[in-house]
Amino acid sequence: MNIILLGPPGAGKGTQAQKLVEGRNMVQLSTGDMLRAAKTSGTEMGKMVAAVMDRGDLVTDEIVIGLIREQLEAGGDHGGFIFDGFPRTLAQADALGELLSEMGETLDHAIELEVNDEILVDRILGRAAEAVAAGGTARADDNEESLKTRLMAYYKQTSPLLGYYYAKGDLTSVDGLGTMDEVEAAIADVLA
């Protein structure tokens, strides 16, 4: 089973992806993790990624699709893929759809973790305050100004994917503001 988790920053996508990895033996394809691994891999694709990143340029969609292709071709015994951080744009969604089709794979579900922005901001700022109170440090981008910037980027670039996957009949929304266990159960219901 192949799925995409969608939702604004802080909605809990990473947490829920980890639960799916542990509970269903799925493979989380995180764009950032794949780029970091490729950069040090020594493969042809890795050398290309390293050159682009060393120049400080953004990695192209074609490179990311190439990395995803490598992961899909690697096979292995697992419960499918979770696409994390990709696609972020309609062009990337088209490219991913074409790749999956070419490889005889399907996208089974696009799951939106639906949240209220005000509650989300309060939750993330609360998380940051708890981290500091416990003697740790908050994430550098867990502040109100940074959150608003990240939310704006999400709504400009990524939220059009909701309509895209809805039109394809692949989108299911779950309440992302429940407890971790409630959100996990809602996702399990979608995947049942």
Task: Give the integer Cα–Cα distance in Å for 124 and 145.
Answer: 12
Q: Is 123 a catalytic residue?
A: no
Q: Is 24 a catalytic residue?
A: no
Among residues 88, 148, 156, 168, the one annotated as catalytic is 88
Say whether the peptide bond before residue 8 is cis (omega within 30 degrees of 0). Answer: no
Q: Which is the catalytic residue, given 24, 69, 123, 127?
A: 127
From the list 24, 69, 123, 150, the catalytic residue is 150
CA 105 – CA 152 distance, rounded (Å): 32
**Catalytic-labelled residue, pool 47, 139, 148, 156:** 139
d(CA 28, CA 16): 10
Q: Report yes or no: 19 and 84 within 8 Å, Cβ to Cβ.
A: no
**CA pair distance 46, 183, nearest whole angstrom:** 36
25 within 8 A of 36, measured Cβ to Cβ: no
- H or E segment and range at residue 52: helix 44-54
Cα dist from 159 to 7, 90, 118, 149, 155, whole Å: 8, 10, 17, 14, 5
3-state secondary structure of 95: helix
Q: Active-site residues: which are they? A: 13, 88, 127, 139, 150
